[in-house]
Structure 1
Amino acid sequence: MNGLRNLLTDVPGIRVGNAHDERLASGVTVALFDRPAVASVFVAGGGPAGRDQECLEPDRAVERIDAVVLSGGSGLGLDAATGAQAWLRERGRGIPVASVRVPIVPSAVLFDLLNGGDKNWGRFPPYRELAYAACEAASEDFALGTQGGGYGATTVDLKGGVGSASATTPSGYTVGALACVNAIGSAVVAGGPHFWAAPFEQGREFGGLGLPARLPDGARRFRWKGQREPATTLCLVATDATLGKAEARRLAIMAQGGLAKALSLSHAPMDGDTVFAVSTLAKPAEGGPELLTELGATASDCLARAIARGVHAATALPFPSALPAWSDLFGAGGG
C-alpha cells in the first residue's frame, strides 16, 4: 500500500473511533474531521434511517460538517449523533450562532436488534454514550471487523463488521473508504471463501484468493436476509481533493457502485444502504469533471475493498445460532 495504512485515515485530517458494548452486541463508529469538511450523501436503499442528512443537499445552507456517525441500533441508534455533538461542543466545534456553537454531525444507522445481544437497556438507549466514547478513542489507527458500528452487523451468511481501505489516484489525490457491513446479501461467492470484490483487491488484504476459476453451482442463487431482518451497509468515502457540495454528492453517487461490486445484493426495498462523501479540502483540485470521474472510480473500487475487509476481519458473536465469521470457516488467510 505504498506506506499507507489502507484505512480511511490515510486521507489527511480524519480520525476514526470505535466503541461497542459486548453484552448489547452493538456499537458506534465515528469519523471526526480535524477541520470542518464539505460533505454530501446518497441513499440508494429503500429503508434508510438517518439524521441531519438533509443539510448535506447541495442547495442547503450548511456548508461544512464536523463528524459522521455510523451506528447500530436501527432508529434507536439515532441518538448516537448527540454524543458526538457533545464531545465536539466541549471542544468549541460547530457552526457559530450568536453566542453558541452547533456541531454538525450527520448520521445513519443499521439494524442489528436481532443478533442475540441484550437490548433491554432501560428507558434510554446507550448509543449517545457509545458515540462519546468513540470520539474519545478516535485516532488515525483503528481496528477492523467486529468493532464499533459493525460490532453486531451480519450478512446473509457470515458475520459482518467494520472495513476500510485507501488508494492514491493517478493525479496524486488520496481516497479512503469506511464501511459498516450489515448487508442484506452476501460478500462471498456461494458461501465463500472467494469475495465478490476479489477483482479489486490490493495484495492480500482480504485473503488474496481471487475469484474461482468458474462460478460454482448455486453461485447465482438468490439469497437474502428476508423482510424479517432489515439490513444496511453504511459507508463513508473521503478525499483530500477540494470539492464543493454538488461534487461531493456526485462522488457519493459514483461510490455507491462499490456496493454492487462487493455484495450479491444491495439497494433493496428493505435495506438502508447509504454513502456519505467528504472532502477535507486539504489539496486544491485541478481537473474539473475528469478529476471528479477519477475520484469516483477510485472511491467505488475502494469501497468494494473496504466491504470485503470488514467481513474478512470479523469475528463471530458468542451467542447461540450466531453466524460464523469468514475466518471460522476458511482460516485467517491473507492480510
Structure 2
Amino acid sequence: MQTGARNLITDVAGLRVGNAQDAVIKTGTTVLVGDTPFTCGVSVMGGAPGTRETDLLAPDKTVQKIDALTLSGGSAFGLDASSGVADALRSAGRGFTVGDQNIPIVPGAILFDLFNGGDKNWTENPYKHLGAEALAAASENFAMGSCGAGTGATLAKHKGGLGSASMVLPSGHTVGALVAVNALGDASPDGQHFWAAPWEVSNEFGNLGLIPSVPTGLPNTKLSSHNTTIAIVATDADLTQAQCTRMATAAHDGMARALVPSHTPMDGDLIFGVSTNAKPLEAEVADTLWLGHAAATCLARAIARGVWHARPAEGDTVPCFRP
C-alpha cells in the first residue's frame, strides 16, 4: 500500500486543514477547506448525531458544491464553528451566489467533549472564534493527536484525538481521511494493541503488532452519551454527490474495524465524503469500488493515528494510549 507524500488527507491536492483549540476548555475545532468549492456527501450511522446543513448534501438538493467543512467539539455549541468559517469565507468573496450576495456553504458535525475535565463555564460561545481561527491556520501540513476537534476527545479507557492518513491507488487516484476520535468504545482492547493493526502502514502507529487473541467478553465502553466520532474521507477522483455519499458509507467499515463497538445509539458517528473532481474515473464501477475500500482503510488507520498521537494535559480524565 502506497501512502501519499504526507500521509494526510491534504495529499488530495487542493485541500487544506486548520486546527484551533482552547487548552482551558479542553476543546477545539478542525476545518477542511478547498482552494475551490468541492463536491460533498454524508453518511450518518450513529444514533445521536449533531450536524449543520447536512440535508443540503443529498443528491437531489440545489447546491451541489460546498466551500468548507467543520469538525468540532462542544456538542451543539460547537455547531457555531461553521458560522465563524462562513463569515471569514464571505469576507474573502467565497460562497454560493444569490443575487448580489455570496453565501458560503459550510456544513459541520460535532462531538461531545463537555465532561473531559476542562472549564466549560464560558460566558460567550467560543466556537465561532475557534472556527475562524482554524480556517486562518489551514495548511497542507497540520498536527494530529490532542489538537483541533481532537483536543478534548476521549475513548472508554484512553484519550482520543485527531488523526489522518492517505493512500494512492494503482489508478493514480488519491484518497485521504481525517477523523476526530471520541467513541463510546475504544481503539484498543488491551491498551497494548490497536484494533486497526492489520491495516497499519510503515509503523505509523507504533508497529505494535496484531492483537494476540480476539477478546471474547464485552468490549470497553463509557456506557454514556458523551461520545461521537466524526470524519471526512476525500479523493481527487471525479465523483458526484451520490458517489461521494457511497464512498462515505463504505468508509464506515473502517470505523468499525478501528473502534469497538461503533455506530451505537449513543454515538453520532458520521462521515463526510469529499471529491475535488480533479481526475476522471477510467472504469467507473471498478474505480468507485476501490475508492470505497481505500476510504475505509485510510479511516481505520487515521483513527489509530489520532489515538497514538494524543498527548497528556492537566486535568485529563483518562490517560493517553502512549504515556
TM-score (ref. length: structure 1): 0.94
Are 1:176 and 2:173 an aligned pair?
A: no
Match of 1:222 in 2: 219
| Residue in structure 2 matching 1:236, options 216, 221, 232 | 232
Q: Distance between the aligned counterparts of 2:73 and 2:192, measured in 1?
A: 26
Alignment of 1:277-296 (within 5 A): 277-296=273-292
Are 1:324 and 2:319 an aligned pair?
A: yes
Do 2:4 and 2:166's aligned partners in 1 also have CA atoms closer than 8 Å?
no
Match of 1:14 in 2: 15
Match of 2:104 in 1: 103
Match of 2:187 in 1: 187
Shift of 1:275: 0.2
Shift of 1:219: 5.9
Alignment of 1:158-177 (within 5 A): 158-177=158-177
- 2:243 maps to a residue whose letter is E
Do 1:155 and 1:185's aligned partners in 2 also have CA atoms closer than 8 Å?
yes
Shift of 1:233: 0.5
- Listed one character per residue, the Cα deviations across residues 2-45 of structure 1 (whole Å, up to 9, x for unaligned) are 66100000000000000000001000000011111000000000
Match of 2:257 in 1: 261
Name the SS for the 1:302 alignment partner: helix
- 1:118 maps to a residue whose letter is D
- More displaced, 129-138 or 203-212? 203-212
Shift of 1:252: 0.7
Alignment of 1:23-42 (within 5 A): 23-42=24-43
Shift of 1:253: 0.5
Are 1:312 and 2:308 an aligned pair?
A: yes
Do 1:256 and 1:275's aligned partners in 2 also have CA atoms closer than 8 Å?
yes
Alignment of 1:94-133 (within 5 A): 94-122=95-123, 124-133=124-133
Q: Distance between the aligned counterparts of 2:313 and 2:261, measured in 1?
A: 23
- 2:54 maps to a residue whose letter is Q
Name the SS for the 2:229 alignment partner: strand
Match of 1:333 in 2: none
RMSD: 1.2
Do 2:9 and 2:175's aligned partners in 1 also have CA atoms closer than 8 Å?
yes
- 2:213 maps to a residue whose letter is R
Alignment of 1:36-185 (within 5 A): 36-122=37-123, 124-185=124-185
Do 1:317 and 1:323's aligned partners in 2 also have CA atoms closer than 8 Å?
no
- 1:239 maps to a residue whose letter is T
- 1:87 maps to a residue whose letter is A
Relative to 1, partners in 2 of residues 1:225 and 1:213: Cα closer, same or farther, differing over 3 Å?
Answer: closer
- 1:249 maps to a residue whose letter is T
Q: Distance between the aligned counterparts of 2:3 and 2:24, measured in 1?
A: 39
Relative to 1, partners in 2 of residues 1:114 and 1:294: Cα closer, same or farther, differing over 3 Å?
Answer: same
Q: Distance between the aligned counterparts of 2:58 and 2:313, measured in 1?
A: 37
Shift of 1:317: 2.9
Do 2:189 and 2:220's aligned partners in 1 also have CA atoms closer than 8 Å?
no
Do 1:45 and 1:272's aligned partners in 2 also have CA atoms closer than 8 Å?
yes
Relative to 1, partners in 2 of residues 1:257 and 1:2: Cα closer, same or farther, differing over 3 Å?
Answer: closer
Name the SS for the 2:166 alignment partner: strand
Shift of 1:112: 0.1
Q: Distance between the aligned counterparts of 2:83 and 2:317, measured in 1?
A: 31
Identity value in percent: 50
Match of 1:211 in 2: 210
Name the SS for the 1:256 alignment partner: helix
- 1:324 maps to a residue whose letter is P
Q: Distance between the aligned counterparts of 2:6 and 2:132, measured in 1?
A: 25
Gaps of 5+ in 1: 329-335
